[in-house]
Amino acid sequence: MNLLEIDGSFGEGGGQILRSATTLACITQTPIRVNNIRSNRKIPGLRPSHLTAIKILAKMCNAHVDGLSVGSTSVEFHPDRIDNVFLEEDVGTAGSIPLIMQTVIPLALAGKKLQVSIRGGTDVPWSPTTNYTKYVLAEAYSRMGLDFAMKIQKRGYYPRGGGLVHLTVNPCTELSPVHLIKRAEKKANLVCCYTDEDRISDSIGCARDLLESNGFATSTEKSQEKADNSGASMLIFSHDSNSIIGADELLDLKNRSDFGKRCARDFVGYGMGVDANLSDMLVTPLSLCKELSIFTVPSISKHLETNLYITSKLTGCKYGIGKIDGGYEVRLQGSSDSCIK
């Protein structure tokens, strides 16, 4: 099979291209070369979390990989068969475990069971939190037929990391489309984890007050958990038959008084079918679903644009974006012929 060349500087020019491309390469059994990796970032090339993600994928599909080292700006990935997988991996830094899990979970489409334990960062900057993955992404994926369970054994905040997550992904036999158009219920679930309660108790109350003043019936769950350094994360989420929405935030130790306000404001403002962050996470599996999926989103992020572009190159999926009142509608027609046999 010919090697598919991918320009890693396209669109947002970060790790998203590499993660999506290698995941789909495994599933579709397509050899790829990704060049100009993370060329739009302050420190270009592979970072430890990207390295760990590709190592895990390579083990899962018995791939031959060239260019797998920190700082590398070009990776060649030749996938082979996918087996049942039982792995333990350590990022070695506070590199994002949730981003690594996003690369792993869609491999359930190979019909194999995946069990992976990963050490690294559970709640770190420029990444969804583990609670977002557990409560928001898991709900969206389950509606497609992708079922996974995760146990957060230990939290890991920036800069030390040291978190531990156990992930189990069940085989997926058939993908279902999604239709997520508009939030139908004004309910909010607030989940907060932290190392030091005195730093966040007022923040939870402020976030809850903001939600309730905007008409949301709110439930609250909080948990104090040990970690290698101080930290906290907050998630506000909801799902109904027409929407799956989440907004998360990390504690800024230099500006603690504002913790929770941003994600509460974001959540209140999300009235479409999905939030801006979830939209790009839906694309990879939906590109392999032969039926039409439709979802609405308040804005089109660079990550969403990039993921639509990369998945179309690897799967042949068709997509369209249209402006509607309050946001955008995304239509995605996948190609089941691209899925691994």
Residues that are catalytic: 303
CA distance 286 to 146: 11
Q: Alpha helices of 29-96 — where are they, by DSSP H?
A: 48-60
Q: Alpha helices of 87-200 — where are they, by DSSP H?
A: 97-104, 130-132, 138-144
**Angstrom distances, CA of residue 338 to CA of 24, 54, 103, 268, 290:** 9, 21, 17, 38, 10
- Distance of alpha carbon 236 from its chain centroid, rounded? 16
* 250 three-class SS: strand
Q: Which tokens go with 150? A: 């995760």
CA distance 116 to 149: 11
Q: What pairing do the DSSP bridges indicate for beta strands 75-78 and 85-90?
A: unpaired
